[in-house]
Structure 1
Amino acid sequence: MFHIKTYNAISNKGLDRFNRELYQVSADCEQPDAVVLRSQSLHDQDLPSTVKAIARAGAGVNNVPVEACTKAGVVVFNTPGANANAVKELVLAGLLLSSRDITGGMRYVQSLTEMTDADAMGKLLEKEKKRFAGNELYGRTLGVVGLGAIGSMVAEMALALGMDVVGFDPALSVEAAWKLPSQVEKMDNLQALMARSDYITLHVPAIAPTRHMINAEVLQAVKAGAVLLNFARESIVDADAVVASLDEGRLGMYVCDFPEPNLLQRPDVLAMPHIGASTAEAEENCAVMAVDQLKDFLESGNIKNSVNFPQINLPRSGGYRITFVNDNVSGVLGNVLSVFTQNNINVLDMMNKSRDDIAYNILDVEQVPSAEVIKAIGDVEHVIAIRVLN
């Protein structure tokens, strides 16, 4: 029986995928094998030693102490792409709201509370509508920073609207490159994209290299009057630099999902309350992906969409499965295999993958490993954690 601890309101569509004959799911589990969460911060909490994995139902993992988890051999999963469509649609809303003064016009209409004559109101609005005129997106250039799951969908959407699209992503994976529309023109650097784009939309993760990637220096290169959209993470943008650029008249408008005090009450800022992934569909998709990845890891040892462990998948070869985590140094796997040799245990199949300082191994063996064998493997230098899967 696996014990799963949940934080936040995880969609039942995801939680129902846990077979209750194999899993006990509870918000107050004290010794969980794994954790499923959304926005709950774990930085100030002591994780029980029983925890083997954490699944974040969402893309960002800044609420999880990833480095500490890695050192403890705990796999951290996220769900990239599960909320991509929800964010993409909000980006579209941001593009439309920033290109035409829709909100200003609606506020003006709602201010006409003293008018009682519909004909008079119609004539007034016909006269005043020029105050809220804007421009069309067709033919404009959208710069997409970060061309992963969300960025590529935004690029496709913009192309369908008749926009020109340029993109920049220094960490573009081969898989993401294959999914990217061929019409997207790749830019060599961020400044070149800023100078070319009428609209710039950000879709990069919140990691150390991306902190304040939009800063005063980068904003010096922005095309005059351009609109910056941030539906990724607040730390990517230096809000003070954005305000300064708006005040200088260089940046035309800032649209974001991450309000800060210095952004409020500005007509050139459209701030939303972090609702990028707040759709029923996105929450369900994230929960389903998080649970499926967690089940595959707990039951078979496979890893997909981890932010700190390598991706690995080994089909079952029969026998009994063992997984272990070790420091990524030479000789560890050989020393573990020697334990099997000394105990006359035949290895049917195996796979070894590494990522940065961590290595992860899956082995299918012919005989049931005894407690002594498991202890001997755990005692091998640099082995961090070991599991036996039935």
Structure 2
Amino acid sequence: MVFSVKTYNNINQIGLKELGNGFQIDGDLAENPDAYIIRSQNLHDDVFPSNLKAIARAGAGTNNIPVDKASEEGIVVFNTPGANANAVKEAVIASLLLSARDYIAANTWTNTLTGDDVPKQVEAGKKQFAGTEIAGKTLGVIGLGAIGARIANDARRLGMNVLGYDPYVSIEAAWNISSHVKRVNDLKEIFANSDFITVHVPLTPDTKGTFGAEAFGLMQKGTTIINFARAELVDNAALFDALETGVVKRYITDFGTEELLNQEGITVFPHVGGSTEEAELNCAIMAGQTIRRFMETGEIVNSVNFPNVKQPLSAPYRITLINKNVPNIVARISTAVSDLNINIDNIINRSKGDYAYTLLDLDENDKTKVDDLVAKFEENDNIVRVRVIQGN
């Protein structure tokens, strides 16, 4: 069986090779594909093709994808967490150094000089750009995932004191964080004790406006804030007040809006924090591997709208079910199987929010009976999508 994939935004071709020979990329079937692989393509106004089963975002954020709508239509949305983490980490470290020494303003000023005595002008004017060193300063890191953990560790190596806040840090990430990074349990400790703050959390109703009037009110004067996560984490009106009073010395972000441009104390970069050649390749590789695994085995890893579900495929047939998270659904599935005198080799069901995902492995070689079972499932209003995968 050949699966079809439609790509957007020039996905790295080397990464797409991870799909293997069983996939047709942007070919004749791309108008009704099995999967999308995208980067920044905005899908919010799109009508999803009827055959679409998966969307892989070659990057961490999925704000350009209508995740709720995808869930309702039984489409699994994947991202590639950690694939561009090193690129973003380096961008943040560079921003720390640039802000402490004000190199961008220094360069802009130097390029205004003219005449044969430029060296003398440089010597006379350089005092205005005498900055500070980051060694010995305190960095607050909000979010200790793949990116935040790397920043915390490298900042420690550069001689900084590091405070880290993340109530949801995974066990895997925790193992990778230096023991010298002080974990705090309250955001207020980050705001009150940091010379520099960098934020690496997703945008949710709870995190929107994290940097608002209350947060700025806790900060010491001269704080630098770096936001390479999401624009809406910062309340711009409160930010402008904090800049005017000197509480915030500099705000650095790669989410540009018109009101932030050409403002004293604000440095805006294009949104390229994770856009290195290496990161784009890593994202494409991970996206390709994720789609291949899902299409060939039904296993889910790194989905934002469905739980991780892994189970070796050894049975003649596997049925995957995306269903509404309602009571007794597993019992109903089992009953439907037994009614057709089919044995269950293995079953695993995991829920996430309003939906659940089931891998149902059948000890049955009769394709007709399997097709009858699929038809039965498709008649159930609580089951959104059914797939059949043939085992080896």
TM-score w.r.t. the length of structure 1 is: 0.95
SS in 1 for 2:19: coil
For the pair 1:57 / 2:20, whether they are aligned, the reply is: no
Conserved? CA contact 1:70–1:308, under 8 Å? yes
Runs of 4+ in 1 over 6 A off after TM superposition: none
For the pair 1:374 / 2:371, whether they are aligned, the reply is: no
Q: Which has the higher mean CA deviation after the structures are superposed, 321-330 or 75-84?
A: 321-330
Match of 2:385 in 1: 385
Q: Which amino acid aligns with 1:271?
A: V
Cα distance, 1:68 vs. partner? 1.0
Match of 1:194 in 2: 191
Match of 1:171 in 2: 168
Match of 2:337 in 1: 340
Conserved? CA contact 2:4–2:27, under 8 Å? no
Hey, what's the Cα distance between the residues in 1 that align with 2:50 and 2:176? 40
Hey, what's the Cα distance between the residues in 2 that align with 1:101 and 1:333? 60
Conserved? CA contact 2:243–2:265, under 8 Å? yes
Cα distance, 1:381 vs. partner? 4.4
Could you tell me which runs of 5 or more consecutive residues in structure 1 were left unpaired when the two chains were aligned. Answer: none
For the pair 1:307 / 2:304, whether they are aligned, the reply is: yes
Conserved? CA contact 1:332–1:380, under 8 Å? no
SS in 1 for 2:251: strand
Hey, what's the Cα distance between the residues in 2 that align with 1:100 and 1:5? 45
Cα distance, 1:178 vs. partner? 2.3
Hey, what's the Cα distance between the residues in 1 that align with 2:268 and 2:27? 33
Match of 1:216 in 2: 213
Q: Which has the higher mean CA deviation after the structures are superposed, 139-148 or 252-261?
A: 252-261
Match of 2:239 in 1: 242
Conserved? CA contact 1:336–1:380, under 8 Å? no
SS in 2 for 1:388: strand
Hey, what's the Cα distance between the residues in 2 that align with 1:318 and 1:281? 39
**Aligned residues with identical type, % of pairs:** 43
Question: Among residues 148, 158, 165, which one is paired with 1:151 in the alignment?
Answer: 148
Hey, what's the Cα distance between the residues in 1 that align with 2:227 and 2:72? 32
SS in 2 for 1:389: strand
Q: Which amino acid aligns with 2:287?
A: A
Q: Which has the higher mean CA deviation after the structures are superposed, 265-274 or 80-89?
A: 265-274
Conserved? CA contact 2:139–2:194, under 8 Å? yes
Conserved? CA contact 1:6–1:25, under 8 Å? yes
Conserved? CA contact 1:152–1:179, under 8 Å? yes
Q: Which amino acid aligns with 1:379?
A: E
Q: Which has the higher mean CA deviation after the structures are superposed, 295-304 or 174-183?
A: 174-183
Can you list the C-alpha shifts for 1:120-170, whole angstroms capped at 9, x where unaligned?
Answer: 433332332211100001000000011111000110110110100001123
Q: Where in structure 2 are the equivalents of 1:63-82 lying within 5 Å?
A: 63-82=64-83
Hey, what's the Cα distance between the residues in 2 that align with 1:308 and 1:72? 12
Hey, what's the Cα distance between the residues in 1 that align with 2:237 and 2:288? 39
Hey, what's the Cα distance between the residues in 2 that align with 1:172 and 1:144? 12
Q: Where in structure 2 are the equivalents of 1:262-273 lying within 5 Å?
A: 262-273=259-270
Match of 2:102 in 1: 101
Match of 1:86 in 2: 87
Hey, what's the Cα distance between the residues in 2 that align with 1:258 and 1:301? 36
Cα distance, 1:44 vs. partner? 0.4
TM-score w.r.t. the length of structure 2 is: 0.95
Conserved? CA contact 1:2–1:33, under 8 Å? yes
SS in 2 for 1:210: coil
Match of 1:361 in 2: 358
Cα distance, 1:325 vs. partner? 1.2
**Number of paired residues?**
385
Cα distance, 1:66 vs. partner? 0.5
Q: Where in structure 2 are the equivalents of 1:223-238 lying within 5 Å?
A: 223-238=220-235
Hey, what's the Cα distance between the residues in 2 that align with 1:112 and 1:301? 63
Match of 1:254 in 2: 251
Question: Among residues 277, 283, 286, which one is paired with 2:274 in the alignment?
Answer: 277
For the pair 1:207 / 2:204, whether they are aligned, the reply is: yes
Could you tell me which runs of 5 or more consecutive residues in structure 2 were left unpaired when the two chains were aligned. Answer: none
Cα distance, 1:81 vs. partner? 0.6
SS in 1 for 2:218: coil
Can you list the C-alpha shifts for 1:347-368, whole angstroms capped at 9, x where unaligned?
Answer: 2222111112211111221224
Q: Which amino acid aligns with 2:177?
A: L
Match of 2:130 in 1: 133
